Chains A and B, each alone.
Chain A
Amino acid sequence: MIKFEDKTAVDFVIVGAGGAGGVVAKELSTAGFQVVVLEQGPHLHEEDFTHDELKHKDIWIPPFLGQDALTNDHSLQPNTFRKTASEKAEPAAFAQYGRCVGGGTVHFTGNYWRFHEVDFVERTRWGAIEGTGFADWPITYADLEPYYTKAEWDLGISGLAGANPFDPPRSKPYPLPPMPIKSSGVLLERGARKLGWHPYPAPMAILSQPYQGRSACAHCGFCELYGCEWGAKSSTLASVIPLAEKTGRCEIRPNSYVRKISTAKNGHVDGVLYFDAHKQEHLQKAKAVVVCANGAETPRLLLMSKSNLYPQGLANSNGVVGKFFMVDRGSFALGTFEHPLNEFKSVQVTRVVQDFYDSDPKRGFYGGGGIDARFNFYPIGFALAGLPPDTPRWGAGYKKALKQNYNRTVTVLTHTTCLPLESNTVSLDPEAKDAWGLPALRFTYKTHADDVKTLEFFTARSLELLDAAGCVQKWAYPNGDTSAAVHLLGTCRMGNDPKTSVVDKHHRAHDVPNLFIVDGSSFVTSGRNQPTCTIQALAYRAADQITRLAKAGEIASG
């Protein structure tokens, strides 16, 4: 593997080797550029992954081992949280994100939904929503379509084109057939059909057949939250990062924690300062920098990169960095069924419904989403949080319920819109520091009333669906404010107007010509909160734009 010297200015430094960074690294190195990718977390491989529930961070389980290498560790990198700017933020384990080579694509479930055409133009379609920064994207679905196709074929996505009547137009089918249906999928399909809805095979970033030298899924069942031991999940770790390394022009440098992007006198960026695994500081020189650190770490890094030239932080002359923060929203309902489902086998999701994807003025509020059926519990998590609410918490009755329900429970999860509010932000905590002495992430987030109404609407649809599928018992979790977040979006939004957005439609920072930002932070609106597919399509498109600009000599460095 190639190793670059810190002092040699490489063509590009990419900050973050995740869903976006891995794609950009592969594209730029393949196009002939020298690339160094700095990743906070370790470089793990298939043999490092396990089926051990105690080693994984699961929201249902108290943190026993605290050695989860796949996601951020709040004991080293604390968060603070508050609902509004008038409150003092208190320590909280708020945000969870991938922190290893491959980023969130290592532990994600693999749901791979394209945005629909409407997602890019909702402000025009729907009109303004008071108190929000609801806006159109500067690009359309048609602009991104070739890159959705490229992502699906490059990474390896299983699905069935044409099966979802609400799907946007596509230029090519999926490269791989859908995953075999599970009992949760059959039940969703049965219930949905009865209600007149249109279930279809879930598009998944998991290989249903061998593809490009990688093994097909063996149905071991440990996808959601786990790293794939077969390399069958189409993480950037398993798919494009090895291709980037193979070019001989890309170095993946793990355990490298970037604390500042440095700038030259002319205002261009010229490298990044980072800590290695031993907390030794280095300066990696570069002709241009691409930040792909996620919707929380990206704005944090820009805000930490203050200088005399950029007193408000990098790319933040308009103060927009960190604002319009959006998170994963969705409702959660469960049902039990008569017969054993054996949902512990195979991928989590095999059928999806998007009949309520579009916002509908008749509902009286903005919002839409998609519905899937899955079983998102492993044994311990289920035993602590998956039983019906009236179950005894210990003793003979508890044991009986555990035995009866583990193999008969289905979750109906929905994935819904989250409005962009200027007052929902990622910022630097003025007091709390991480284990490197850097300012902790401070989150300010309050749920918009329409988002709650959307959740309530989807809870009602989920319970209807469980009934129609013939459940024995059903129940739902309450909706409202959230105290935890994944799918961090919107904090360096794209736009044509430099006064109201951070990057232009080519992902170039309005303020800095050789700084590019591409990850969930680029989102203008949330879509229906299965963002990975769109993050990666944006990454392919951004890499194309960056290549074009670089080859035309339009990316000058300091």
Chain B
Amino acid sequence: MTAQIIPSDDAPGAREARVIYFIDRVLTTFDRDKQPAYAQGLKDLQHKTVEMFPGTNKFSSLASVQQIQLLTAIEKTDFFELVRVHTIVGYLSRPEYGGNHDQAGWKLIGFEDEMTFQPPFGYYDSEYKKDR
């Protein structure tokens, strides 16, 4: 699921950022009260897989296009929203929490984690300096 929420292309997605390590970690630490929601949600996902794609019993064995079809069908559910938020948070939180491996998420968006920067900071203020 996480790999469909933030897919891999020429830049690392949730898979390479090791978002599932982050989710494992939060579910055993500060978000442990979400464990039952995951247990139930994954069971429902399994049923939905069988219902939409008879003959398959695992979400992970579906083709990517089928996975997207299935997730689109459940994207309004609380479980999907929970996984979506956890995936995004895991992709962009400090690597110490287990996700954002090798700062993959930060690199994608262009965020740098530093204690000091020097002006000019961005495109428009570097142009501004040149004007003066």
Contact = CB atoms under 8 A, between A and B. Distances in A.
Interface string B89-132: 10111100100000001101111111111111111110110000
B11 interface: yes
Interface residues of A, number: 46
A183 B118 CA distance: 13
Given A340-B110, A379-B111, A399 B13 contact: yes
Contacts of B70: none
A402 B13 CA distance: 12
B125 A380 contact: no
Contact of A218 (B75, B87, B115): B115
A186 B124 contact: yes
A383 B92 contact: yes
Given A183-B122, A399-B13, A219 B117 contact: yes
A185 interface: yes
A407 B26 CA distance: 28
A426 B122 CA distance: 44
Interface string A216-253: 00111100000001000000000000000000000000
Interface string B15-46: 00000000000100011000000000000000
Contacts of A180: 119-121, 125
B125 A183 contact: yes
A65 B30 CA distance: 6
Contacts of B75: 393-394
A270 interface: no
A382 B110 CA distance: 13
A52 interface: yes
Interface residues of B, number: 45
Nearest to A217: B116
A218 B122 contact: no
Nearest to A343: B122
A438 B88 CA distance: 38
B108 A399 contact: yes
The prevalent SS among residues of A at the interface is loop
Contacts of B89: 54, 61, 64, 380, 384
Given A384-B85, A393-B75, A379 B106 contact: yes
B52 to A, nearest CB: 18
A207 interface: no
A538 B21 CA distance: 51
Given A346-B117, A380-B92, A399-B13, A407 B5 contact: no
A66 B31 CA distance: 10
A220 B109 contact: no
A153 interface: no
Nearest to A393: B84
B125 A181 contact: yes
A52 to B, nearest CB: 6
Given A344-B111, A394-B84, A380 B93 contact: yes
A145 to B, nearest CB: 32
A403 interface: yes
B88 A219 contact: no
A394 B4 contact: yes
B123 A341 contact: yes
Interface string A400-429: 001100110000000000000000000000
Nearest to B8: A399
A472 B38 CA distance: 40
22 contacts: A53-B93, A54-B97, A66-B30, A180-B121, A180-B125, A186-B128, A187-B124, A218-B117, A337-B124, A339-B122, A339-B124, A340-B123, A380-B92, A382-B109, A384-B89, A393-B84, A394-B75, A395-B4, A395-B7, A403-B11, A407-B110, A407-B122
Given A181-B119, A342-B122, A379-B106, 12 more contacts: A54-B93, A181-B125, A182-B122, A187-B124, A339-B123, A342-B123, A343-B121, A380-B92, A383-B88, A395-B7, A396-B9, A399-B6
Interface of A: 51-54, 61-62, 64-66, 180-183, 185-187, 190, 218-221, 229, 337, 339-346, 379-380, 382-384, 393-396, 398-399, 402-403, 406-407
Interface pairs A-B: 5 shortest CB-CB: A339-B123, A183-B122, A406-B109, A342-B122, A183-B124
